[in-house]
Amino acid sequence: MAKPGKNVIHYPSIALLFACCIAWIIFHNGWFPLTLALGIFFIGRIGIRYLTGHPTSGLKLIKNIALVLCFVLTALCCTFLRSETNYAYFLNHENPLEVLSQDRWTPLSKATSVDTKTSFNGSSARHEIVLIRRRQPSIWGKLLNRIILQEVHVFRFNPHNDFYLLADVTNDFTPLTVQEANERKASDFILNSSFYDPENHAIGEIIYLGKRYQKKTKSSGYFKVIHGIPHAGPASIFNNLPGEPAYSCQAHPSTLRDGQMFNYIENESLQALWNQKTYRNLMGEMTNGDFVVVVSGNGGLVDVKEITQIAQLLGVNHATLFDAGSALQYRFTNPNYSMEFSAFNNSLDLGSFADRICVKLFRKNVIQRSPVYIGIKLNE
């Protein structure tokens, strides 16, 4: 028998618990967050029933199955769309980007330094996170800014690690997911690199194990491994580097040379596409020779100039951008640490027919694959 007056508490409490669990799934994609949400909801519901004295009703099995299906379908949809990061597309992007500088939120254009949070620090590599945000005019945007901060990830690698390209050169550079690329050679770090055309053909120079597979284009930026040492930046930095590359791939735009931003990056009116707020992928090198990757993380939608300014504040010497947007995917694994990011679905493959339909409708494949990746094996 229900306790008098408690029903008015019971149903709103269950609805609030349900909404919180769905919100958790939206901002935390994958099977583990789904399992956690299911456990919290059903255990929480039992607790609410106990506190309110609300009796269990008929059709329990049908209702529970319907609830589980609702959670599972929501999780599948959110994981497919990568809602935990792509929610940021619904935020306002008009206000200037801010970063934490000496523990204070500061407009990026006025910052003299940028705070980083170290997630992994080894003898051969380091992973840091830069928190970013834009002030939001809406109430829900302000609330999200307080709960969830957007991220830019920074990976620093000793140049004496093993650097290489990963690609299916025997099958005309058939596109791969980050997992498929790792299956070709187990790597500690993998990141997509070369741009590709609507037919998924890689664009620009590709040298793989010393053999040239594609000629260079007008794109100004390169990643090359020469005498086992990685280099990334504008074409001009390679003029005085002797030796033939074992690996090379090409992209654009080049953004930094000797720590200075190129005028065409500084002058944002020269290229409208570079002003779009989207996922970015910058690679370069520090003055001490360390190879560095500055790349968007969850919600990290920035333009070309902003990712370059962040790289400058981090002390990057030479830099160029590589393919990103919805194609961006990378993973870092270590016996004691692992993380992975993909801007869009890179796990659920519905086949080539679904890809063709999706390309016609949305100009994107159902599953994101790239023809060329940069791989790094740590020497520890």
pLDDT at 2: 45
- 362 pLDDT higher than 70: no
Q: Taking Cα atoms as reference points, which of 204, 112, 117 lies closest to residue 165?
A: 204
Provide the Cα torsion 290, 247, 332, 97; round to 10°.
60
Question: How many other C-beta atoms lie within 10 A of the C-beta of residue 367?
Answer: 20
pLDDT digits (tens, 9 = 90+) for 151-163: 999 999 999 999 9
The residue assigned the tokens 């008929």 is 58
Give how far Cα 249 sits from Cα of 167, 230, 337, Å: 11, 12, 28
pLDDT at 318: 97
Three-class secondary structure of residue 231 per DSSP = strand
Q: Note whether 275 and 97 are within 8 A (CB).
A: no
CA–CA gap between residue 376 and residue 232 (Å, rounded)? 14
Which is higher by pLDDT, 85 or 51? 85
Beta strands in the chain (DSSP E): 97-101, 104-107, 117-121, 125-134, 150-157, 162-166, 189-192, 206-208, 211-214, 221-226, 229-234, 245-251, 254-257, 260-261, 281-286, 291-296, 316-321, 329-334, 337-342, 373-377
Segment 128-150 mean pLDDT: 94
Question: How many other C-beta atoms lie within 10 A of the C-beta of residue 56?
Answer: 8
Direct distance between the N- and C-terminal alpha carbons of the chain, in angstroms, rounded to an integer: 65
pTM of structure: 0.91
Tokens of 97: 């980007």
Segment 332-360 mean pLDDT: 82
